[in-house]
Amino acid sequence: MEETIVLYSTPEHLDSMLRIAKFIAKHHQDVPLTILSTASTSAVASIAAIPSIAYHRLSDVASPPPNHVTNPIELFFEIPRLQNPILLEALEEISKKSRIRAFVIDFFCNPAFEVSKSLNIPTYFYSSTGGYGLCAFLYFPTLHETIREDIGTFNGFLEIPGCPRIRSSDFPSAMHFRVSNIYKHFLDTSINMRRSDGILVNSFDALEPEAKDAIVKDLCTPNSKTPPVYFIDPVIPESNSKDGVTEHECLKWLDLQPTRSVIFLCFGRRGLFSAEQLKEMAVGLENCDHRFLWAVRSPPGKPPPPWQEELDLDAILPQGFLERTRNRGFVLKSWAPQKEVLSHESVGGFVTHCGRSSTLESVSFGVPMICWPLYAEQKMQRVFMVEGMKVALRLDMADDGFVTAAELEKRIRELMESENGNWVRQRTAEMKNAGKAAAEKGGSSVVNLEKFIGCLN
């Protein structure tokens, strides 16, 4: 009977899961992979030409989540829970033709854990938050037991093995209050991670060595054995497309700029700012006297894409800003070809929301970062990027997240002009080279992948 590895992801983490699938396929073309998700076929176009990867689109749930479930993060867990009967049917169908050697699930797909276990399928989690993030999730049940008050009211530092100290206010807000359903989802996921057959991590050994060491020594799972953990992210992005995206107008503009002279500001598909914050950002960029490429989206309440191209920048940004900065700035409406921009030799820094994929892309191109976290676990990721990986500088912000023009100007100048900024730049370049080495034959990511494949029955 043919064998296969099945990977199951929510649309939210599908791109990251596809990255791991392609890395497995590159080194093990003889191992068929099946990807399950509710995402459209167009979302997996990048694997269409890879013969060892098949995509199975799961049908949508027949009944929507209860009306009280409105928080997006809770929905990320609830929809897979409702999807379980459909998933069970899909796994049983696959099992008729192939022996499932491993079932790898995105942590939002935690409700699927009991389904696969009921079928006696070896089940692995995929941690898309990196090594430090995995330490925090594995240790979460211990925090639950030892901190009697809610983390949201705990005014202090959380001491987590393998991680820099984390302020309680920087811990993901979804995990602050134990009476909430989201808290219970994360706690259950953390417990199941400990019970799983293993965990795949989107990282490489040299980027987060303290985290890897703590995990290997079982420090994150007191009184129990940590399942095998594999740091296998290839880090090296796919080569740039030659048809269309590299002809984007902003890339032509970058061609005219000096090497490592441009600050790139881009905040992901959910990176929305108030009109007041956008104006403050513009003032900071104007005052910093450095070149910049800035992807601007409509403030909350304004029309979303596809009407974004009609966005009136003159009405949103300070009067005369575009004219005054036209010789050293380029402002985009909403979308930017991020990977192609980061790979351009003119880009010298990246102001980012600290999303894990953006962080890895920036490291892979040797571009140092300035951290501006917005939601989810990004405040915690900022701690890891600044104090753990040491590839970024921290922006100081008010309790409500507001950043002043003076603070933005200060950090851009620090990154582009100071000895500290130069040190971070050199550190990021070192991690770029380490990531490249990890993905080559004999490198840590390839070796860890071999260990994962070798452990499958």
Catalytic residues, by residue number, are 13, 106
CA dist 393 and 410 (Å) reads: 11
| H or E stretch covering 158 | strand 157-158
Number of CB atoms found within 10 A of residue 343's CB: 19
CA dist 330 and 49 (Å) reads: 36
Q: Are 15 and 357 contacting, i.e. CB atoms less than 8 angstroms apart?
A: yes
Q: Copy the structure tokens of residue 290.
A: 């450095």
Q: Are 18 and 47 contacting, i.e. CB atoms less than 8 angstroms apart?
A: yes
Q: Are 42 and 140 contacting, i.e. CB atoms less than 8 angstroms apart?
A: no
For 130, the 3-state DSSP assignment is helix
Q: Tally the C-alpha atoms within 13 A of residue 329's C-alpha that lie toward its C-beta.
A: 23
CA dist 191 and 171 (Å) reads: 18
Number of CB atoms found within 10 A of residue 276's CB: 10
DSSP for 313-326 reads HHHHSPTTHHHHTT
CA dist 359 and 161 (Å) reads: 22
CA dist 44 and 37 (Å) reads: 10
Q: Copy the structure tokens of residue 372.
A: 């501006």
Q: Scanning the structure block, which residue is given the tokens 């100071």?
A: 418
CA dist 438 and 298 (Å) reads: 39
CA distances 7 to 142, 400, 457, Å, are: 29, 38, 17
CA dist 199 and 371 (Å) reads: 27
CA dist 38 and 307 (Å) reads: 26
Q: Tally the C-alpha atoms within 13 A of residue 291's C-alpha that lie toward its C-beta.
A: 18
